[in-house]
């Protein structure tokens, strides 16, 4: 044992007398005359303190160098009522196998369906086929199960799952793993999924007494009651002479509490919502299942445009079509597509079909929300929406089938393209992106059009966020009944999340990784 200075021992004893609670002292004294290290469970038994109190004391003792603590994750397993039932008989798939063997090794599936409930039969057949106990054949339009050679021999075998259930059935409480079963982790996981056992993970801490701790324990450590408040009763009865007032250590270490926390993506959505509210916008919402009319036709996208193909758009099979809006609005949109209507345009010069506009799709952008609201609002107006949209994309680290879009429109006689850039710069600046640029772009329903980009210093690259522009008259006039400037943008959110949290895979926030949510700071 290394020598510990007497000065260090005296200093530590002074700290113990001044700041240690009665529980801390009990835990420290539990190590007296103990050669082997002790776990939290060992100390709990010796002191009658609960587990959480021992863990807290371990933290304090370790902070002051009296013990060294090592942690390891352990597994405990407990059999369920259903598991106990099968432990006393046999697994259901084995019971069914035995029944078929007793009937000559073959049975008609229809007969089994009449005898066994559908859920149990499905589970049994799944395991029997997986283990190659039976094979299925068609005989006179009947499905017949025939026991294989492996199935006949299985009746005499004892499987790891059965051994595990037998071990656990002998106990009434949780049993600490390992249980001594072959392929134990895999077997326990199978039983857990079948609801035959319950599994819980826990952290066990083992404390080793340090040289300082051993030196301190050679001195007397009184076990006076420590109180946090000096009450009138203690003063009047004179009991204050027999107690110690606890001094609070405001820098004492504590374990992180598993408190509830917003998902980082939700936090950014809330932040974005507040930005637009601060800038005077009103929030709008729309349906996820949308008419092709609102997704495409109302936005002056021709019915033969490539974006409408199945390669990009997810169409509903049932129901295939929905109800179109008023006949008057349909007429204005139809005429705009065919000949320009009252917009001064020549239109797309094709025959517009109602059947295409009636089709139901998973909305490909939230611009459909803006289109709907253009038929209801009175200028001037500022509207934004944040919602999920869907595209038939190839899944990879930068593309998803489902993503979130931030949409906005400003409708006013007194706005211009410069105002559009101003709104976008202010929005991106408030999100923390000071370096933004706008590249010329093309969209069927806006002119002028731009693609906003922001620079990510950590990656040394620019990322494109979506599209923006001024709605063409062919969009505005049929919906609003007059031609006035409408600034519009549709910006992706997922790439912002990637850059904010330095992620390489756009899919990661959708994995429901609790550890990532817990560790990611709310910014």
Tell me the per-residue pLDDT of 357-396, one tens digit each, with 9 for 90 and over.
999 999 999 999 999 999 998 999 999 999 999 987 777 6
Element (H, E) at 152: helix 149-154
CA dihedral sign, ordered 299, 305, 311, 316: positive
CB proximity list for 212: less than 8 A, separation 6 or greater: 4, 8, 9, 12, 65, 66
Give the other-Cβ count within 10 Å of 375's Cβ: 15
Q: Which long-range contacts (CB under 8 A, 24 or more apart) does 167-171 make?
A: 168/77, 168/78, 168/79, 168/83, 168/87, 168/197, 169/79, 169/83, 169/84, 169/87, 169/88, 171/78, 171/79
Task: With beta carbons less than 8 A apart as the criterion, state whether 155 and 141 touch.
Answer: no
- Beta-bridged to residue 367, according to DSSP, are none
Sequence ranges of the chain with CATH classification 3.30.930.10: 267-519
The 3-class secondary structure across 378-389, one letter per residue, is CCCEEEEEEEEE
Q: Which of 255, 269, 264 is nearest to 205 (CA)?
A: 255
Flag residues of the chain having pLDDT under 50.
1
CB proximity list for 136: less than 8 A, separation 6 or greater: 109, 129, 143, 144, 145, 146
Task: With beta carbons less than 8 A apart as the criterion, state whether 29 and 48 touch.
Answer: no
Alpha carbon dihedral 348, 353, 355, 359, in 10-degree steps, equals: 10
DSSP category for residue 297:
G
- C-alpha 370/C-alpha 506 separation (Å) is 26
DSSP category for residue 396:
B
- C-alpha 218/C-alpha 195 separation (Å) is 52
* CATH-assigned architecture of domain 6-75+202-245: Orthogonal Bundle (1.10)
DSSP per residue over 164-202, as a string? HHHHHHT-SS-EESP---TTHHHHHHHHHHTTSEEEEEE
- C-alpha 375/C-alpha 330 separation (Å) is 12
Omega cis (within 30) before 380: yes
CB proximity list for 156: less than 8 A, separation 6 or greater: none
CATH class given for the domain over 267-519: alpha beta
How confident is the model at residue 230, as a pLDDT? 74
Element (H, E) at 328: helix 327-339
The answer, as to whether pTM is greater than 0.75, is no
CA angle 493/508/408 to nearest 5° reads: 10
- Tokens in use for 191? 């039983």
Task: With beta carbons less than 8 A apart as the criterion, state whether 392 and 232 touch.
Answer: no
Sequence ranges of the chain with CATH classification 1.10.10.10: 6-75+202-245, 81-177
Q: Which of 205, 235, 269, 245 is nearest to 73 (CA)?
A: 205
Give CATH for domain 81-177: 1.10.10.10
- Within 13 Å, how many C-alpha atoms sit on residue 125's CB side? 18
pLDDT tens-digit map of 392-442:
777 766 667 888 999 999 999 999 999 999 999 999 999 888 889 999 998
CB proximity list for 376: less than 8 A, separation 6 or greater: none
């Amino acid at each position: 044992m290394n020598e510990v200075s007497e000065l260090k021992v005296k200093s530590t004893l002074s700290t113990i007398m001044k700041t240690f609670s009665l529980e801390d002292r009990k835990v420290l004294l539990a190590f007296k005359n103990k050669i082997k290290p002790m776990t939290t469970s060992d100390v709990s038994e010796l002191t009658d303190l609960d587990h959480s109190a021992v863990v807290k004391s371990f933290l304090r003792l370790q902070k002051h160098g009296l013990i060294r603590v090592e942690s390891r994750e352990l597994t405990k397993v407990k059999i369920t009522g259903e598991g106990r039932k099968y432990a006393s008989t046999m697994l259901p798939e084995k019971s069914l196998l035995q029944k078929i063997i007793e009937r000559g090794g073959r049975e008609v599936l229809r007969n089994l369906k009449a005898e066994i409930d559908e859920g149990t039969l499905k589970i049994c057949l799944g395991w029997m086929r997986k283990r190659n106990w039976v094979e299925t054949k068609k005989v006179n339009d009947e499905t017949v199960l025939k026991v294989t050679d492996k199935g006949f021999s299985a009746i005499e075998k004892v499987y790891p799952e059965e051994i595990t259930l037998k071990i656990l059935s002998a106990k009434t409480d949780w049993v600490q793993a390992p249980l001594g079963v072959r392929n134990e982790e895999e077997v326990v996981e199978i039983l857990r999924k079948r609801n035959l056992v319950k599994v819980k993970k826990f952290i066990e801490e083992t404390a080793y007494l340090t040289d300082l701790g051993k030196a301190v324990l050679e001195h007397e450590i009184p076990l006076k009651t420590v109180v946090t408040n000096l009450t009138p009763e203690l003063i009047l009865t004179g009991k204050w002479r027999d107690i110690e007032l606890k001094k609070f250590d405001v820098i004492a270490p504590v374990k992180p509490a598993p408190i509830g926390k917003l998902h980082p993506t939700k936090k950014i959505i809330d932040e974005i919502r507040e930005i637009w509210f601060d800038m005077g916008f009103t929030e709008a919402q729309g349906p996820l299942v949308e008419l092709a009319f609102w997704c495409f036709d109302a936005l002056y996208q021709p019915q033969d445009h490539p974006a409408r193909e199945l390669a990009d758009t997810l169409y509903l099979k049932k129901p295939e079509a929905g109800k179109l809006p008023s006949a008057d609005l349909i007429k204005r949109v139809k005429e705009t597509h065919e000949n320009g209507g009252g917009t001064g345009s020549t239109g797309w010069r094709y025959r517009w079909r109602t059947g295409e506009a009636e089709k139901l799709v998973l909305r490909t952008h939230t611009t459909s929300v803006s289109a709907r609201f253009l038929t209801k609002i009175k200028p001037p107006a500022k509207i934004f929406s944040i919602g999920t949209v869907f595209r038939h994309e190839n899944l990879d680290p930068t593309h998803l089938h489902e993503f979130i879009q931030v949409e906005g429109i400003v409708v006013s006689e007194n706005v211009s393209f410069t105002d559009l850039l101003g709104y976008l710069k202010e929005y991106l600046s408030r999100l923390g992106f000071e370096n933004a640029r706008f590249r010329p772009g093309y969209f069927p329903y806006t002119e002028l059009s731009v693609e906003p980009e922001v620079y990510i210093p950590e990656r040394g690259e620019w990322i494109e966020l979506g599209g923006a522009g001024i709605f063409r008259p062919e969009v505005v006039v049929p919906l609003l009944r007059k031609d006035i400037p409408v600034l519009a943008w549709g910006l992706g959110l997922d790439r912002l999340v990637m850059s904010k949290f330095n992620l390489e895979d756009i899919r990661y926030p959708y994995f429901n990784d609790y550890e990532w949510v817990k560790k990611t700071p709310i910014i």
